[in-house]
């Protein structure tokens, strides 16, 4: 997305790539969309992709690869041990992240499993700017407690603050003073954040957090799964980064951290993950678990083809034209929704557009899962599959009580380089219609509730007949339109 001005003054993003392989899509009639949603227990994770028109569930493992990535997959070196493919990946990771050691894992949460198994002891704390579902689940599974130290502004849905993902460094100092450094397993910075609307973390904040960690001998860990978007935001929003190359911003962000891990389903546009480590003793401790859970040290559960694609994908992450596509499309979608009065998280972040279900459905209490209800209604109204990121994504407390999420969001992820602007415009139009008809939408209740990560498989049912009323209103307004 280069700086292209339109004669008429319009502000449309222009793609700096062309589509050369396509996948045919189907848009089912609304009656069939409702049937599919009912069969899925009003949980978008349980939909069949064949029933989905625009899959905005996630960006994970579904970004469009470049021809260079595809080409690299053909010259993979298929060896269990000592594969040249792994050497290429390791060298690229070291060059970009600036760390000598690299442990491959099959995806991001596998890295979290290893880190938490080694570093978290029962009764210890893991302060972080904000949790991600799997990162918290692994800390908790090892007896630790996650403490979120996001600055209060980070939880304000609408704002014009550039770095709402920043950690409150004073709160971290206070926590260390209260609990003692020994009680802190590690400090985790998610750059950028996932569950609070793809909001970025500033380079200055990362430096400050790591400085506090270093002073107290606490390991500092960066989750770099969403670093591509974060690099873009640093370049355009943090004045000290404006004149730096993307590669230089990357190194400046990574250098202060002891450990960096990532999901290569996001950064690198492949399917895999890994842990980058600086310290030899720490590397040796973490290394023990890779063959146990993942596979040998030269593949860690990844196929050699994916490792080749990730190597090229990581290199391409340093190309500003490549990393700006997601955030610029998201910016367009958020601004257009905002213009139509649809409540969204602002400023626009990375990962996707985040609709504020609490304000959208302000007639529903959080106990009726407004974000899940809205995600269901969005699919019925449009065939667009989003993801609930609210109370349904929380886990019950040990005493069975239900924590209410800070935010009730429906995430409409923007897999990178996948959708066209007219498809995005279609999604905006249907959300506009849904917002005008929001009072029709009612609540949901669990009919099947798994104990761990319940949002993946949980099934819900509507509390009233609202889904059928929504279909009837759609037909009245759109006639025979799909």
Residues with a known catalytic role: 80, 132-133, 223, 266, 389, 455
Nearer to ligand F0G, 190 or 258 (CB): 190
CA atoms in the 13 A half-sphere facing the CB of 129: 32
Among 101, 125, 132, 419, binds ligand F0G (CB under 6 A): 132
Closest CA to 167 of 139, 124, 201: 201
Nearer to ligand F0G, 60 or 469 (CB): 60
Note whether 190 binds ligand F0G by CB under 6 A: yes
**393, two tokens:** 């994504």
Query: Is the separation of the CB atoms in 334 and 340 below 8 Å?
Result: no
The answer to whether 225 contacts ligand F0G (rule: CB under 6 A) is: yes
**129 sits near ligand F0G (criterion: CB under 6 A):** no
User: Contact between 134 and ligand F0G (CB under 6 A)?
Assistant: yes
Which of 51, 55, 148, 223: binder of ligand F0G (CB under 6 A)?
223
**Within 10 A of 179 (CB to CB), how many other CB atoms are there?**
15
Range in contact with ligand F0G (rule: CB under 6 A) among 107-115, 159-167, 305-313, 325-333:
107-115
- When asked if residue 109 is in the footprint of ligand F0G (CB under 6 A), the reply is yes
How many residues in the shown chain lie near ligand F0G by CB under 6 A?
16
Residue 474: alpha-carbon gap to chain centroid: 31
Binding of ligand F0G by 265 (CB under 6 A): yes
- The answer to whether 372 and 390 have CB atoms below 8 angstroms apart is yes
- Are residues 73 and 305 in contact, defined by beta-carbon separation less than 8 angstroms? yes
Name the one range near ligand F0G by CB under 6 A: 77-85, 223-231, 241-249, 460-468.
223-231
Assess 58 for contact with ligand F0G (CB under 6 A).
yes
Closest approach, Cβ 12 to ligand F0G, in A, equals 27
Q: Return the range that interacts with ligand F0G (CB under 6 A); candidates 201-209, 219-227, 245-253, 454-462.
A: 219-227
Considering only CA atoms, give the Rg of the chain.
22
- Of residues 330-389, those binding ligand F0G (CB under 6 A): none
Tokens of 433: 């219609």
Comparing CA positions, the residue from 274, 442, 297 lying closest to residue 357 is 442
> Interface with ligand F0G includes 165 (CB under 6 A)?
no
At residue 313, φ and ψ (nearest 5 deg) are: -60, -40
By the rule CB under 6 A, 417 interacts with ligand F0G: no
Per DSSP, the chain holds a count of helices (H) and strands (E) of: 19, 14
The residue of the chain with the least Cβ separation from ligand F0G equals: 108
**Alpha-carbon torsion angle 426, 430, 431, 437, nearest 10:** 170
Contact call for residue 273 and ligand F0G (CB under 6 A): yes
Task: Note whether 196 and 130 are within 8 A (CB).
Answer: yes
Pick the closest to residue 267 from 231, 224, 296 (CA basis). 224
Nearer to ligand F0G, 83 or 263 (CB): 263
Question: By the criterion CB under 6 A, which residues form the site for ligand F0G?
Answer: 58, 60, 107-109, 132, 134-135, 190, 194, 223, 225-226, 263, 265, 273
């Amino acid at each position: 997305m280069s700086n292209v001005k339109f004669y008429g003054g319009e502000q449309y993003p222009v793609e700096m790539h062309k589509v050369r392989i396509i996948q045919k899509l189907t848009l089912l009639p609304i009656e069939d969309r409702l049937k599919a949603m009912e069969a899925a227990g009003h949980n978008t994770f349980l939909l069949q992709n064949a029933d989905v028109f625009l899959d905005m569930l996630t960006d994970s493992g579904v970004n469009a690869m470049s021809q260079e990535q595809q080409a690299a997959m053909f010259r993979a070196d298929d060896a269990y041990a000592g594969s040249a493919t792994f050497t290429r990946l390791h060298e690229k990771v070291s060059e970009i992240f600036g760390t000598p050691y690299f442990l491959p894992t099959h995806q991001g949460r596998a890295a979290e499993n290893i880190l938490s198994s080694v570093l978290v002891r029962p009764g210890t704390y893991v302060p972080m700017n904000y949790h991600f579902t799997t990162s918290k689940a692994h800390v908790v599974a090892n007896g630790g407690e996650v403490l979120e130290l996001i600055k209060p502004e980070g939880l304000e849905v609408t704002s014009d603050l550039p770095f709402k993902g920043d950690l409150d460094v004073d709160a971290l100092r206070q926590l260390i003073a209260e609990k003692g450094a020994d009680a802190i397993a590690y400090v985790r910075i998610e750059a950028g954040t996932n569950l609070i609307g793809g909001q970025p973390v500033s380079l200055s904040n990362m430096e400050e957090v790591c400085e506090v960690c270093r002073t107290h001998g606490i390991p500092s860990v960066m989750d770099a799964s969403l670093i591509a978007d974060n690099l873009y935001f640093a370049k355009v929003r943090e004045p000290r980064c404006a004149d730096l190359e993307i590669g230089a911003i990357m190194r400046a962000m990574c250098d202060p951290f002891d450990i960096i891990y990532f999901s290569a389903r996001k950064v690198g546009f492949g399917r895999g993950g890994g842990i980058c480590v600086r310290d030899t003793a720490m590397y040796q401790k973490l290394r023990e678990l890779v063959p146990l859970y993942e596979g040998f040290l030269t593949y860690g559960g990844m196929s050699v083809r994916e490792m080749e694609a990730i190597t090229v994908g990581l290199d391409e992450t340093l190309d500003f034209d490549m990393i700006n596509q997601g955030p610029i499309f998201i910016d367009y979608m958020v601004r257009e929704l905002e213009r139509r009065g649809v409540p969204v998280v602002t400023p626009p972040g990375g990962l996707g557009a985040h609709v504020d279900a609490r304000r959208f459905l302000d007639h529903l209490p959080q106990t009726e899962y407004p974000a899940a209800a809205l995600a269901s209604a969005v699919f019925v109204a449009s065939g667009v599959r989003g993801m609930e990121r609210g109370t349904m994504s929380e886990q019950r407390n040990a005493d069975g009580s239900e924590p209410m999420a800070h935010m009730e969001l429906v995430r409409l992820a923007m897999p990178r380089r996948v959708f066209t602007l007219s498809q995005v415009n279609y999604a905006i139009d249907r959300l506009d219609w849904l917002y005008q008809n929001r009072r029709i939408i009612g609540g949901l209740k669990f009919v099947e509730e798994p104990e761990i990560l319940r949002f993946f498989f949980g099934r819900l049912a509507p509390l009233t007949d609202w889904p059928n009323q929504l279909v009837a209103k759609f037909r009245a307004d759109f006639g025979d339109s799909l």
